[in-house]
Chains A and B, each alone.
Chain A
Amino acid sequence: MRDIDIDKLAKMIDHTELKSSSGEGKIKDLCVEADQFGFITVCVNPVNVKFAAGQLKDSDVLVCSVVGFPLGMNTTEIKALEAKKAVEEGAAEIDMVINVGAMRDGKHDYIKADIEAVVKASAPAHVKVILETCYLTDEEIIKACELSVEAGAHFVKTSTGFGAFGAFAHHVKLMRETVGPDIGVKASGGISNIKDAMRMINAGATRLGTSAGIVILEGAKLLKYATDSWLEPEIPCHTCPARSASIAKLPKALYQYYTNKCMKCEYREKYNKFYE
């Protein structure tokens, strides 16, 4: 962990700008930064793909486009069309959002077909499947990973960054264990410093989606001097998704799901008194 290769870390980062308020100026900066710091892709909305590809035409940096973003509630045909258009305009990677509601309803055939259609429309671009893990139980995450692999996806990805919460190592580990070593796992949402990044990588992430890539790389340079206490997990509750379960942001059933997990957790008695 201490001897992390900065260039290698940069090649794990999708330098991301997906906010609706970001115009071409921001995307231009994003591309310049990605080239300067050696990130693998810029991750942008479909409307910015052509512009970003133009900016990066003389660079090794790839363009990644989101599809069906951020809710995943477009029809399969629209997602496929959106992916096809993005690839035509220069996207080398596609991050599609599944229909989370259908997943919650157990419509597995629909989910698989949805992913398959995007994979087919995107070829030769790689497809990452955004599960939006904050809205799924552990069992649903495992199933969604299996469906993604069966549908030919190249990556599974935790979050859009627009949901109730972002990436947690617990979910990344679950996804890695499910998809095995040959499929990529992308952690995204709330990864803001090197410690977050290392936590995800140690859990099995091979790609990070973040707008804080530059901060992460600069922070990584301090790692060689870091003591174990900088990097070891804190109180486990601090990195548990149950602790981020918000009654205001989650559906009732999911909030109860996380509350129940917390109540049965082995760490509860030991660490609960430290809650702030």
Chain B
Amino acid sequence: MNGYMDRIIKIDLTTGKQEEILISKKIKREFIGGRGLGVKLYTDMCPVKLDPLDKENALIFSTGPITGLIQTAGRYQITSRSPLTGTIITSSSGGFFGTAMKKAGFDCLIVTGKSERPVYLDVNDGKITIKQATHLWGADTHETMKIIKQEINSSASVACIGPAGENLVPFAAVMNDKDRAAGRGGIGAVMGSKNLKAISAFGKKDISVHEPEALKKMISTLNTLIDKNPVTGKSLQLLGTSVLVNVINEHGMYPTSNFQKGVFNDAEGTSGEKIAESILEGRSACFKCPIACGRKTRTSTRSGEGPEYESVWALGAQLGINDLEKITEANYTCNELGLDTITTGSTIGCAMELYEKNAFPEKLIWGDSDNLVKIVEDIAYKRGIGKDLALGSKKLAEKYGKPEIAMQVKGMEIPAYDPRGVQGQALSFATSNRGGCHMQAYMISSEILGSPVFTDRYSVDGKAEIVALLQDISAAVDSLVLCRFLQFAVSLDTFKEILNIVTGSDYSEDELLKVGSRIYNLERKYNVEAGFDRKDDTLPARFLKEELKEGASRNRLVKLDEMLDKYYEYRNWDKNGVPTDKIMKELGL
């Protein structure tokens, strides 16, 4: 079928056996690819009783029909069960790996089992070879990529884990193309549990397109849409994602000292503007992307990429730290050791507040950056203080008797937007299928950035519907597989056109939206079976009971229950957040 390589391979690392998995046209139509196909395959294959680190658990790398064809389409999705949250998890990463995997001839790679010794997969022009990786075990992500490229092909794209994944840190990332990360939810630990160090992908296979000329025209239109949108055409290009630091701080919702404040007095010193005038060396772009939001940076002793907005916050304001150089180096260390920066920083912030409240034995002080890099290393290697911090904030705070100090939802740390300043984003955090995540419905887009239109950030009116709509659109776009940033500039109608031009299908906007809803409901169904329900669709009490004292979001609380009831009703879920038979039947689930 146009847009697909029509090959899905299951690799059992216990036996070394490879098996071709065939899927029906109906499944392709209903789940498309990427996140959708990953979730469908995963839920068909893995019962909820499987522990995330059980050797039988599956780890699914998937591309979509658009992968390798247009701007930003170098991405891929990884699906499994999260060792951090226990929910189903799909994590996405940019760069070039998705394109390489597809041009090597594969839509999906399903990894199960556990190798006796460390191995990596050489995915090369239609063939998959399991290669020993004992010599790579212990190497950081950059070194791993470098060695594998030397061994295989300097043009190969490599996705791998670092020491954090090897040591089963439940928020270990999978890194690819040097500093691109499938960061959230501990996918790296699942990979580590299989003794799978890396996947190298290279190939030159053609990707068939139904209407090549129309696609060329569409690529040109997309360039125009991206260029004309103020977020994608200017802000992200000039200042990267950290352009948000000053914006969010001015809105009084830049979480500071573990969300105890919404204004960081030193925000300017860690902002996108400051990065541009101090450590910036250049921009970097994923596959064919004109936005190029990545930042190549250099400190006095090291160089690398980033920090991105969430990272500069998690390792900065969240810890009361204003030293951009130290933040940047801690970010480099996270990338090199393979750690999710958000959970890493936020867990350290949780420990700092525990210490402040005399509930944590180790001295961790707000604003102290001297040991930041060492603490990050300790987490990756689970040594010293890192043994505790590698639990993630939820388990850490529970261990020390103050669970309310962990700023998380379903075990995943909430990123850099104080929910008290944005009602819709608050609901999005509470209902995300992977926990405290901003990516499944980025309400900041409308509530702060006015894209596609401004909605009143303090109002709860209509937020349930918008959050559900965005969750479904995002799930659909993740199935094509395209970058979330395109959603600033490109409408669902245009995404549908792209899909039809490439595949020759006749999706309508409504059908594409229904695909998104199907994916979201299937993920929810898995989570419900795993024990998640309304009691878990909540936020830390801080956001429901304690008002911020200063800044533009002061004197406000999240009105969660009010929105949640409406959200369930709109979703056709029962009062406890369980999808009704009616909606499941409607979606063919």
Contacts and interface: CB of A to CB of B under 8 A. Distances in A.
11 contacts: A36-B221, A193-B452, A193-B453, A218-B225, A218-B229, A218-B491, A225-B469, A229-B455, A229-B456, A229-B463, A230-B446
Given A36-B221, A229-B462, A193 B491 contact: no
Nearest to A193: B453
B228 A225 contact: no
A226 to B, nearest CB: 8
Nearest to A199: B453
Interface in A192-238: 192-195, 212, 214-215, 218-219, 221-222, 224-231, 234-235, 238
A276 interface: yes
A36 B513 CA distance: 27
B458 interface: yes
Interface in B465-520: 465-466, 469, 489-494, 509, 513
B79 to A, nearest CB: 26
Contacts of B461: 229
Contact of B454 (A33, A193, A226): A193
Contacts of A214: 224-225, 228
Given A214-B224, A214-B228, A222 B462 contact: no
Given A231-B453, A235-B456, 7 more contacts: A193-B451, A193-B453, A195-B452, A214-B224, A214-B228, A222-B491, A230-B453
Interface in B410-464: 446, 450-456, 458-459, 461-463
Given A227-B462, A227-B466, A230-B462, A195 B221 contact: no
Contacts of A192: 230, 450
Contacts of B446: 230
Contacts of B491: 218-219, 221-222
Contacts of B451: 193, 219
Nearest to A228: B462
A238 B459 CA distance: 14
Interface of A: 33, 36, 192-195, 212, 214-215, 218-219, 221-222, 224-231, 234-235, 238, 274, 276
B552 interface: yes
Contacts of B225: 214, 218
A235 B458 CA distance: 11
Task: For the complex of A and B, list the 8 residue pairs with the smallest distance between their C-beta atoms, beginning with the closest.
Answer: A229-B462, A195-B453, A219-B452, A221-B491, A227-B462, A221-B493, A229-B461, A214-B228
Contacts of B230: 192, 215
A85 to B, nearest CB: 31
Given A33-B224, A219-B491, A221-B493, A276 B453 contact: no
Interface string B209-252: 00000000000010011001110000000000000000000000
B500 to A, nearest CB: 15
Contact of A221 (B453, B463, B465, B492): B492
Contacts of A230: 446, 453, 455, 462, 466
Contacts of A224: 509
Interface residues of B, number: 31
A227 B465 contact: yes
A229 B224 contact: no
A229 B459 contact: yes
A26 B225 CA distance: 15
B457 to A, nearest CB: 10
Pick from B228, B463, B489, B492 the residue with the most CB of A within 10 Å. B228
Contacts of B489: 215, 218
Nearest to B513: A225
A214 B465 CA distance: 26
Contacts of A222: 452, 491-493
Nearest to B457: A276
Given A214-B224, A218-B491, A222-B492, A276 B456 contact: no
Given A193-B451, A221-B492, A228-B462, A36 B224 contact: yes
A139 B424 CA distance: 41
A212 B458 contact: no
A212 B492 CA distance: 19
Interface string B133-153: 000000000000000000000
Contacts of B458: 274
Nearest to A216: B452
Nearest to A276: B552
A229 B459 CA distance: 9
Contacts of B450: 192-193
B224 A225 contact: no
B462 A194 contact: no
A274 B552 CA distance: 10
A253 B314 CA distance: 49
Contacts of B221: 36
A215 B456 contact: no
Nearest to B570: A227
Contacts of A212: 228
Contacts of B228: 33, 212, 214-215
Nearest to B454: A195
Given A229-B455, A234-B456, A215 B552 contact: no
Pick from A212, A218, A222 the residue with the most CB of B within 10 Å. A218
Contacts of A33: 224, 228
A19 to B, nearest CB: 14
A38 to B, nearest CB: 13
Pick from B225, B453, B462 the residue with the most CB of A within 10 Å. B453
A193 B488 CA distance: 12
Contacts of A218: 225, 229, 452, 489-491, 494
A204 B228 CA distance: 26
Interface string B252-293: 000000000000000000000000000000000000000000
A222 B509 CA distance: 10
A219 B445 CA distance: 13
Contact of B452 (A194, A228, A238): A194
A192 B453 CA distance: 9
A229 B228 CA distance: 26
A222 B496 CA distance: 12
B377 to A, nearest CB: 42
A24 B240 CA distance: 29
Interface in B543-571: 552
A238 B456 CA distance: 10
Given A212-B228, A229-B462, A276-B552, A219 B513 contact: no
A212 B459 CA distance: 27
A229 B453 CA distance: 11
Given A193-B450, A219-B453, A230-B455, A225 B462 contact: no
